[in-house]
Structure 1
Amino acid sequence: MKTSASPRFPSFFTVAFFLLFSSSFSETRNFLPRGSSLSVEDDSDILTSLDQTFTCGFYGMGDNACWFSIWFTNSKERTVVWMANRDRPVNGQGSRISLRPDGAMVLTDVDDSTIWETNTTSTDVSRAELLDTGNLVLKDTRGKILWQSFDFPTDTLLPNQFFTKSTKLISRLGRGMYSSGYFNFFFDNNNVLTLMYDGPDISSIYWPDPDFGVFGSHRTNYNSSRVAVFDEMGNFLSSDEFQFSASDMGFGIIRRLTMDYDGNLRLYSLNNETGLWVTTWEAMLEQCKVHGICGRNAICVYTPKPKCSCPPGYEVTEPGNWHKGCKPKFNQTCSQELTFVQVGQVDFYGFDLNYTQSISRDTCSKFCLEDCRCVAFSYRLSGDGRCYIKSALFNGYKSPNFPGSIYLKVPASVGRYESAILSGTNPICGSNDSTIMMGLPSMYDTISKKVKWVYLYWFVSAIGVIEILIASAGWLLFGRHGVPDSVEEGYCAITSQFRKFRYAELKKATMNFKEVLGRGGSGAVYKGVLADERVVAVKRLEGISYQGEDVFWAEVSTIGQIYHMNLVRMWGFCAEASHRLLVYEYMEHQSLDKHLFSRSSLGWKERFKVALGTAKGLAYLHHECLEWVIHCDVKPENILLHTEFEPKISDFGLAKLSNRGGSNSELSRIRGTKGYMAPEWALNLPITAKVDVYSYGVVILEIVKGIRLSNLIIEDGEAQESELTRFVRVVKPKINCKEESWIEEIVDQRLNGEYSRRQVMKIVEVAICCVEEDRDQRPTMDSVVEALLECEDESKIHSPYAQ
Structure 2
Amino acid sequence: MYTRKNVLVYFVVLLVIQPCICLDIITRTQPLKDGDVLISEGEYFELGFFSPGSSSNRYVGVWYHQIPEKNVVWVANRDSPVKNTSGVLSVDGTGQLVLFYSRTPQILIWSSNVSGSGDGRFSAKILDTGNLVLFKDEYSEKNVIWQGFDHPTDTHLPGMKIGWNKKTGENKFITSWKSPENPGTGQYSLKFDVNESNPQLFIYNGAERLMRVGPWNGVTFSGYPEFTVSGPDQVAKQVYIDNEEEVSWYYTINNPANVSRFVMNETRSVAQRFNWDPVTQKWYPFWTGPDDSCDFYRHCGAFSTCNPANVGAQGCECLPGYESQGNPLRDRYQCLRKSEALVCGKGEGFVEVSGVKVPDTSTAHLESDITLKACNNLCLKNCSCTGYTIANISNGVGCLTWYGDLLDIRQYSDGGEVLYVRVDHHELVGSKKRVLRVLLPVLVAILLIIIAFGYWLLRKKKKRGGSKRLELFNSLENSDERGTSSTGVHCFPLSIIIAATNNFAFSEKLGQGGFGTVYKGKLPNGQDIAVKRLSITSSQGIGEFKNEIILIAKLQHRNLVRLLGYCIQQEKMLIYEYLPNGALDCFIFAKKMVLDWQTRFDIAMGIARGMLYLHQDSRFRIIHRDLKASNVLLDASMNPKISDFGMARIVGSEQNEETTNRVVGTYGYMSPEYAMEGHFSIKSDVFSFGVLLLEIISGRRNNSSFDAENSLNLIGYIWDRWLQGTPLEVVDRSLGESYVVDEVLRCIHVGLLCVQESAVVRPTMSEVVTMLCNERTPSSPPEQPAFINRATGYFGPVRSSSSGNGAIAVAEMTISMIEGR
Length-normalised TM-score, structure 1: 0.38
Give the number of the structure whose alpha-carbon radius of gyration is greater: 2
